[in-house]
Structure 1
Amino acid sequence: MTKETKNAVSAETIVENLKEFANKLHDNSKDGMLHFLLKGDIRKFKIANVFHNLSHDLLDILDGKSAKEVLEETDGNEEDSSLVGTIAINVETGNVEGLDGIKDTKVKEQILAAVSKVVEELGGN
C-alpha cells in the first residue's frame, strides 16, 4: 500500500459499494430513458440506454460472471440495437405499434416498460 492508502477496505465493502453504484446507475438510466423517450430525444435516449446496459453488465459481474462472459453476451447485439423509427402508443388501450423492427429483445423490453409507465401515468390501462 502507498502512504496515501492507509485505510484498509474489505472486499465485502468494495463489492457492496459497487452494487449500490450499479443499482443507482440502473435506476437513473432507466428514468432517463423514460424521460428522453417522452421528450422524443432519441440521441439522449440511446445514451441513457447505454448506461442502463452497462449497469446490467456491472451487476452480472458482481453476481459472479466473468468479464468475458458479459462481453460475449453483448457483442452480438450491437448491429440490432438501432432505434430509428416511430412508436405509436394508444394510451387508452396500451397497444404499442412500431416495435417490429427492433430485434434486440432487451431494448424492446425496456421500451415496453417505459411505455407501460407512461400509459399508467396518463390514466390508461
Structure 2
Amino acid sequence: MTKETKNTVSAETIVENLKEFAMELHQQAKDGMIDSVFEKDEDAFVLAKIAHDISHGLIDILQGKSADEALENVFSDDEDDIPVVGSIAVNLKTGHVKGIEDIKNPKLKEQITKAISKIADKLGGK
C-alpha cells in the first residue's frame, strides 16, 4: 500500500494567487477589448468584455464582498454604469484629447485617458 501525500497550501498563498490571477485576467481582458476594436472583431470584443467583467467579480470577492454582491456589480443595471455614447477626438501629434471634459467621474475619466493614450501609441502617436 502506498502512502498518499497531500499538498498543503496556505490560505495566504491561495489568496495571493487569486489576486495575481484576477489582476492579470483584468489586464489581458482590457488589452483584448482594445485590440478587438482595432481588428473590428465583435466576437473577440464580447469575449474580452466577459473576461473583464469576471475579473471585476473576482476582485470584488478578494476585497471582501459576497458572491451575490460581486454578481450584482457584474450584472448591474445601475444608470451610472450605462455607457454614454459620444465623440472623443485625439490629436495624435500632441496627444490632446477632446470630448471627455464633461465626464464627472474622475476614475472613469482616468480610465478613458489611459485607453486613449494606449490607442494613440498603437496608431503611432507620441
State the TM-score bracket (shorter-chain normalisation): 0.5 to 0.7
> Are the equivalent residues in 1 in contact too, given 2:29–2:48 (CA < 8 A)?
yes
Partner Cα separation in structure 2 for residue 40 and residue 109 of structure 1: 24
> After superposition, what is the alpha-carbon deviation per residue over 1:94-123, rounded to whole angstroms, capped at 9, x for unaligned?
446xxxxxxxxx999866643331124431
> After superposition, what is the alpha-carbon deviation per residue over 1:9-54, rounded to whole angstroms, capped at 9, x for unaligned?
1111111111111111111111111111111112211210110111
Q: Which has the larger radius of gyration?
A: 2
Q: 1:47 to 1:95 in 2, by over 3 A?
A: farther
Percentage of identical aligned residues:
48
TM-score (norm 1): 0.67
> Are the equivalent residues in 1 in contact too, given 2:33–2:48 (CA < 8 A)?
yes
TM-score (norm 2): 0.66
- The residue number in structure 1 matching 2:6 is 6
Q: Which runs of 5+ in 1 are unaligned?
A: 97-105
Partner Cα separation in structure 2 for residue 91 and residue 43 of structure 1: 29
Aligned residues: 113
- The residue number in structure 1 matching 2:20 is 20
Q: Which runs of 5+ in 2 are unaligned?
A: 100-106
Partner Cα separation in structure 1 for residue 48 and residue 4 of structure 2: 35
Partner Cα separation in structure 2 for residue 59 and residue 34 of structure 1: 21
- The residue number in structure 2 matching 1:123 is 125
Which amino acid in structure 2 is aligned with residue 123 of structure 1? G
